[in-house]
Structure 1
């Protein structure tokens, strides 16, 4: 199979290099200013394309790894988009974090164009993308998933089929609400501890030995204790986007969003102050007393 990828960013770069080096597949990618440097994947044989349509014209599988629904919709339906150039039987694998209702619409458009669609968001970090050990939550038809498993195996450790189309993104939003919510709460607590002069290592040790032990603590501890933000290279603006997607999904179904509203407001302040491209661990600093947000 010839693989196409659109979105060679922090996550997509790792996916691309593993599709080439571990999977041995031919790869074409959208040449875009938002990409990470592509020298490595070009040396491995990746071919740049100028438009999504050019990617679709050569690919049996197209992986989308972009920010959210508006970007996915533009790629699928925009001028020189995927829908107008898909080959019969091409499978679009959407690894972004998107709104389930949008996913269903894009899936129908791709089906009408002769292709198939899977939503397959990721639940790990850029480090895991680089190592080829991502986890995917896949929504869509099981038979379609089976066709692309060899490609997915090149960059994943675990692939879970979680239900029909849209359920991958629904579960990803539930996952990120819990994950980002925990980290936002923890960052605020760590900021308060720092303002009070609590030793950061003692703070982390106390939480780790009790009810605060969690993946959130593991990811923020390097920043809390040593100022190392790179354990979680995830922009605050993207975290806020994911929470707001969760709120939109919940409001559409009539579910309560009281806690999610608070998390969104907490993240909105640093984004509005120009810190949207800070990594999530840096919320510890941004939430401190006297920090302009």
Structure 2
């Protein structure tokens, strides 16, 4: 065999694997180069755009699905991204398909639609769902992907569009441990902290738990801040006392620019998405028989905010 991989070796290589081009004896001197994968991305919104940019920076061949909800694609196309008009065509040309859409209805539609991903899925293709979804839906979609000959990971993300652009997302991954290990180098192209949290569906369960706690903190702090303002407590004092006491948190740091200066630039998570995620948490809690009294109140707060 020559220095380049044979066709059989390339076909057998798992997603995110590494090609070692070093001659014998050079393994300690030369850095291994990542294999370029053919990636299809569905959902180029605020988060998906950052994911796409970083996949291109790491040398992957990227195609994205054309959609009215995408962020502008000019910069991605200038960097080499191709576009496809159907999810079926996108899947047919991809080794890995990444979903970054709003929620379970969108995931189900883009996978199972007449011109969807499953209609074009090739045997062995990996579907990685970075959306936020209801776990029982995730488990059904994973079964559908497997039935079509593919493999599946749920890998929802935390952090903001800023970290997405910087390639510093957190990923909470559910799925087969061996597949997770194989895909980890690919995920590391756009994520800083990558945690395998369990089998299929566990990633989305952990994401909903995370967002419930995070959004619950935000709701509690916002309500307290409004009460403080009505009572004449200075915003500076409110923030300082909480930060130095039991109220210090990531949520407070995120709210602080707005509380002190009415700077909302760090608050880019839409209220409608927050309400959606909390409704998903409520569904998950009901499915598992968990107590959700506080969750009811938090969901009601965000529902009123969206109304």
User: Could you tell me the TM-score, scaled by structure 1's length?
Assistant: 0.91
Partner of 2:52: 16
Distance 2:261 2:64 in 1: 37
Q: What SS does the corresponding residue of 1:83 show, helix, strand or coil?
A: helix
Q: Report the CA distance between 1:45 and its aligned residue.
A: 0.5
Partner of 1:201: 236
Partner of 1:276: none
Residue of structure 2 aligned with 1:40, choices 75, 88, 94: 75
Matched, 1:226 2:252: no
What pairs up with 1:182-193 in 2 under 5 angstroms?
A: 182-193=217-228
Partner of 2:112: 77
Residue of structure 1 aligned with 2:210, choices 175, 180, 183: 175
Q: Is contact 1:61-1:148 (8 Å) kept? A: no
Matched, 1:131 2:166: yes
Matched, 1:3 2:3: no
Distance 1:204 1:211 in 2: 11
Q: What SS does the corresponding residue of 2:158 show, helix, strand or coil?
A: coil
Q: Report the CA distance between 1:98 and its aligned residue.
A: 0.4
Residue of structure 1 aligned with 2:64, choices 15, 26, 29: 29
Matched, 1:58 2:58: no
Q: Report the CA distance between 1:206 and its aligned residue.
A: 0.9
Distance 2:138 2:278 in 1: 17
Q: Report the CA distance between 1:146 and its aligned residue.
A: 2.2
Partner of 1:246: 281
Q: Is contact 1:247-1:260 (8 Å) kept? A: yes
- Report which stretch shifted further, 254-263 or 222-231: 222-231
- The C-alpha deviation readout for 1:156-177, integer Å capped at 9, x for no partner, is 1111111100000001111111
Q: Report the CA distance between 1:198 and its aligned residue.
A: 2.2
Distance 1:7 1:192 in 2: 39
Q: Report the CA distance between 1:203 and its aligned residue.
A: 1.0
Aligned pairs, number: 271
* Displacement over 4 Å in runs of 4+: none
Q: What SS does the corresponding residue of 1:17 show, helix, strand or coil?
A: helix
Distance 1:51 1:221 in 2: 43
Distance 2:113 2:40 in 1: 17
Q: What SS does the corresponding residue of 1:160 show, helix, strand or coil?
A: strand
Q: Report the CA distance between 1:195 and its aligned residue.
A: 2.4
Instruction: Say which one has the larger Rg.
Output: 2
Q: What SS does the corresponding residue of 1:84 show, helix, strand or coil?
A: helix
User: Could you tell me the TM-score, scaled by structure 2's length?
Assistant: 0.87
Partner of 2:245: 210
Q: Report the CA distance between 1:138 and its aligned residue.
A: 0.4
Matched, 1:255 2:255: no
What are structure 1's unaligned runs of at least 5 residues?
A: 273-293
Distance 1:136 1:159 in 2: 5
Q: Report the CA distance between 1:71 and its aligned residue.
A: 0.5
Matched, 1:150 2:185: yes
